[in-house]
Amino acid sequence: MKRLILALATLFCLLAPAATAAAYNPLGQACQSNSSSSACSGGTKDPISGPNGVLKKVTLIIATIGGVAAVIIIIVAGLQMATADGDSQRVANARKAIIFAAVGIIIIVAAASIITWVVSKL
């Protein structure tokens, strides 16, 4: 159970800085002073924070991995609950794992949504 909490906290800590990094545009000052530069012209979006930028791709990959891990935890906990043979302690542990995994999915979806929204506003 502690591993699950640690894994979800780690995942959240990995996703949270991406929103901060999305706000930084390394080409911003350079493009303001020299807008004719090839990096600033041509109508292309920023490869880091653009619509198909690195931040969005990394966020979706991490969210997918976290979501798959949470679903696997739910399946394993369900099997543990089914094979508990009436042992109330095992049923309680499995129920806690399912609840924590469901909360983890909610956190993952919220974090990915916030990061995607912030990146789209850049």
Q: For residue 92, is it within any domain? A: yes
User: Which residue, among 41, 67, 59, has the nearest Cα to 120 in the 3D structure?
Assistant: 59
pLDDT tens across 35-50, in order? 666 556 544 566 666 6
- Residue 30 near residue 39 (C-beta atoms within 8 A): yes
Q: Give the pLDDT band of residue 21 (cuts 50, 70, 90).
A: low
Q: What residues make up the domain containing 62? A: 2-15+49-120
Q: What is the mean pLDDT of residues 14-34?
A: 60
Query: What pLDDT, on the 0 to 100 scale, is given for residue 25?
Result: 61
- Residue 14 near residue 110 (C-beta atoms within 8 A): no
Q: What's the structural domain count of the chain?
A: 1
